[in-house]
Structure 1
């Protein structure tokens, strides 16, 4: 683990913090668009170690959290059918739909299974030819290639009892929507390193230029995030707005050509609803026409779904960076990981879950730097 520990070195973190403190002269709001980065920031207290002029805003970076309620309810409907084996990653089982979740469907007799790869679901389809196997494909550009590969493999093998319930979203259109919002306070972005490891960085320069906003591709360890903040602040103070790659050990400009080719073959872009935000144009993927028979929404004709968000849940404001989790009246009281009102409390990448897990109930901490980073 030496390589990871080097990116948690408190002495190097202190130097980066000193540089940020010496550079900043006015208030700047930076947004991370990755739930993994949000959890790292809160776990290590990075936001509390930065100068008060630098505010970190948590964006819609959790794919579980932004999966629209309508699609959750469609998943519940499909999973309830006796002929279906419904497969999902574990995070999705506790995400509340309108009135219930996938755990409840399983308790009522639905065959809902946690898998660790879409290829596990493909194996189930081969082993159970008399059952319909559905995999809930969610995520940003990071998880889309293996899901695309599963569909490609199903077609190659002639498996007709496998389908994908698709809820894939794309980061650049979300940044566009955030910057076009009249309530936007964001002056720079920390872009998600794992997304860029797949897609590269070529979509970002136009965004940076159009909105005059620095975009720094950033990793997930404390030093990664501090270096991303340092570069963003330096650009802001100098009046620049370019794309910088602060995560070169994983990201190259062109991304992963094989993964991108698989995405281009299996998916096509589409408008996509984001839970708590609404529809963002061209922000998602759907199965391309040649693979439509593997689309679970098409196969099971789940239509006429009526959705209802809990009135007390303010996760939409959290996802837009308009509200910190502890500022919600339900946080930690009527909304907890055991009794979540929204997906941001139950997902392992949700901002509300991070604040609850690390007891960020408001206020500041006086923890020393080394304890915070470690």
Structure 2
């Protein structure tokens, strides 16, 4: 059975039109505008790619959330990655977009152009092999991502300890979805009254992590898949809750997500990581208990501790014209930014929302330029 055969029902034109019509009929009954935040960058791209926003009635609005880990990484953390790359005999490793985001020194790709050893990884597990192949080098993995990618970092770390690797270190930037969403929802300027929750995060952590948000903010939350039919079904579920004045947590993406999540993956993370007291988010500021760090038992692998003397911990200023912070809060759209598609493009990104393939600005640039 081909992948296309499995996916095609979730992209079926007639099903999409039927769901769109059902949404319009229900939305007509709304007493006030339904403002849905899709937290995940994957949902943002699906909305753009398949033109789903054009199918929505005028009293239903999508705003784009902080669900892109590279986008919310502050310049100070990017600068630390660059500073680690400047250490003699170091090899810096990272996945995809993290290499391209510019800090105040430039990006890791630019560091490589200057002769520093910064390398792309296709899988975190490659870090183990690179460390073994370079025993005289300091191999530093810049670990980044939400709950989705954290278990893989934990697996690499636990393997490194088991194999007694002494030259592999971790600069840990794993962040948590619920605290960031909570920070946005409690802002007095927030107009959001429904959430489309990330599905890949939920596969690992389970839908359970959003239950406190429902209890605290009294708004409907649907864990949705990424395909057009998934998203439209989820919107329909949100509409039904809004009309019934309900605030419940529901799972649309039942073919992959459970309430409890992947307990084995959770155990891996719990074995070697714990919640940080504070962590700075780009555009959102300091959010308490919103990120992870290595436990003290793994201090010898913690790049922030081992190489503390090389890190400046400076605070870098953002470009004042860039609206990335407001976009991440859901109070602005990419088209509201004067830099969008002029000064700021994927080839010359000013803000992280453009440089990351999951960023809202990158999605608008690719699918919705006007």
Take 2:139 and 2:123, find their aligned partners in 1: how far apart are those partners?
14
Partner SS state of residue 282, structure 1: coil
Counterpart in 2 of 1:8? 11
Unaligned runs of 5+ in 1: 362-374
1:11-52 Cα offsets, whole Å, 9 max, x none, are 111111111111112311000110011011111111111111
Partner of 1:333: 342
Q: CA deviation at 1:187?
A: 0.4
CA distance in 1, matches of 2:72, 2:313: 21
Q: Distance in 2 between matches of 1:308 and 1:39?
A: 28
1:173 aligns with 2:179: yes
CA distance in 1, matches of 2:290, 2:50: 31
Residue 99 of structure 1, CA deviation: 4.1
Tell me, in whole angstroms, the C-alpha distance in 2 between the residues paired with 1:334 and 1:15.
Answer: 41
- Per-residue deviation at 1:295? 1.1
Match of 1:138 in 2: 144
Shift of 1:231: 0.5
Map 1:140-155 to 2 at 5 A: 140-155=146-161
Q: Normalised by the size of structure 2, how large is the TM-score?
A: 0.96
On the 8 A contact 2:79/2:105 being kept in 1, the answer is no
CA distance in 2, matches of 1:332, 1:134: 34
The 4+ residue runs of structure 1 with deviation greater than 4 A are none
Gaps of 5+ in 2: none
1:299 and 1:343, CA in 2 relative to 1: closer, same or farther beyond 3 A?
A: same
Residue by residue, what CA displacement relative to the aligned partner does 1:300-325 show, whole Å, maximum 9, x if unpaired?
11134241212221100011111100
1:194 maps onto 2:200 in alignment = yes
Match for residue 273 of structure 1? 280
Matches within 5 A, 1:257-336: 257-270=263-276, 271-301=278-308, 302-336=311-345
Cα distance in 2 between the residues matched to 1:306 and 1:279? 12
Cα root mean square deviation, aligned: 1.1
Residues 84 and 134 in structure 1, CA contact (< 8 A), matched pair in contact too: yes
Tell me, yes or no, if the aligned pair for 1:269 and 1:284 is still in contact at 8 Å. Answer: yes
1:270-295: CA deviations, max 9, x gaps? Answer: 12211111111111111111112111
Between Structure 1 and Structure 2, how many residues are aligned?
Answer: 361
- Of 36, 39, 42, the residue aligned with 1:36 is 42
